[in-house]
A = this chain, B = another copy of it.
Amino acid sequence: MSGAEGVPAQRSSRHIRTANRYRVLRRVLAAGPVSRPELAAATGLSQATVATVTGELHRLGMVRAAGFEDSAGGRPRALLAADPAGGTLIGVDVAETYVHAEVFDLTLRVRASTRLAPAPGEDGPARVVERIARAVGRLLADDGAPAGAPVLGVGVTMPGMVDREGGVSVFAANWDWREVPLLDLLTRRIPYRLYLDNPLRATTVAELWFGAARGRQDAVVVNLGTGVGAGLALGGAVHRGASNGAGEWGHTTLVHGGRVCRCGRRGCVESYVGAPGIIRTLTELAPDAAAARAGDQTAVIAALAAGCRAADPVALRVLEVWADQLGAAVADLVNLLDPEVVVLSSWVAREFGAALLTAVREAVDRYALGRPAARAEIVLSPVEGNPVSLGAATFALEGALA
């Protein structure tokens, strides 16, 4: 904003045009072949605006004619669909233990994927850039974009803080990266438009386009993995904050003065509700339980989830304690932000599934104020596959529409 008075930068005609394109294309992707009048009804845009925007999308090669439908005796209505061959998008999920890259057609269906696992210590910027470039090159060589489907962009997520605005440098604590000019480094290796962000925001944009936040004004995407975070989609768009750092719910306080968190502070939400926190609760409650000896973190969580399905008392007790803590922390999000929907996402949520959903719903009703609690739906993420690489590719799609 650089000194301009407090009205969002996005409220310019150019940003409205972009937002309208998002709106129409999201609907086309959601509804399959769809007529222009249906698009107008679903998006709230005027028929004239829909005609303009679909014309633009057609010229961009992103939508194509898809036959006609009967219109109750009237003139048959032309249908539109997204054109899978209208472009190729690439999403790269860079994590501490792997690089997972996927190539998508324009309907965001996966055409191919690849995964590289680094040897220990290969976490310097040069090696990571090399790995990303190799993954992208392999994908395009193996699978190839369909003829005439240009690569519209490559989205890359990094485990850390990403500064999208200023040059795009990166801060990744676990790798001891500080102010690495990653975009510059990648640009030298990858000849496509690049979009950098972090996994939390990728998951959020994936829910906005393809998941439970679609069509919502205010949604919170609760990521439950090793780390935890809350992606915020407010006013129908990702809320980034002043330093693209919003959503660090994992390091908000659940128990003032409580458990030591890996961030060094005490009582953080993450130290209770992330996978290591759940396992700590298990070992506190029942150190001799079979689940506690199941193996690595992933195996223990899987064993607990299986235990819940089999009505194992220890597993159910862990779920009860965990869901109570998680529900209190989700209730804070509900009280503070008053969202329409809270989406439970990531691998830990997927493992526990419906049992988790029920327990969290009860806990949120216990902890949140009545009115926002009644308003907020709580759902499991409907996004299949890897939501991070999907979201990364979606950033590239958004960039191509802007």
Residues of A within 8 A of B (CB): 1-13, 15-16, 19-20, 22-23, 26-27, 30, 41-45, 161, 171, 208, 213-218, 230, 232-237, 239-249, 251-258, 263, 265, 325, 328-329, 331-333, 335-340, 366-369, 371-372, 375-376
Contacts and interface: CB of A to CB of B under 8 A. Distances in A.
B5 A242 contact: no
A253 B254 contact: yes
B23 A19 contact: no
A367 B240 CA distance: 20
Query: Which of A255, A257, A332: most chain B CB closer than 10 A?
Result: A332
Contact of A246 (B241, B328, B338): B338
A245 B213 contact: no
B3 A11 contact: no
A189 B276 CA distance: 60
16 contacts: A4-B45, A5-B30, A5-B44, A6-B213, A8-B235, A241-B338, A243-B375, A245-B338, A245-B372, A246-B338, A247-B338, A249-B335, A251-B368, A253-B254, A254-B256, A255-B256
Contacts of A236: 6-8
B42 A27 contact: no
Given A43-B5, A214-B6, A335-B251, A161 B371 contact: yes
B234 A376 contact: no
A233 B239 CA distance: 12
Contacts of A235: 8, 10, 234-235, 239
A3 B7 CA distance: 26
A5 B27 contact: yes
A369 B23 contact: no
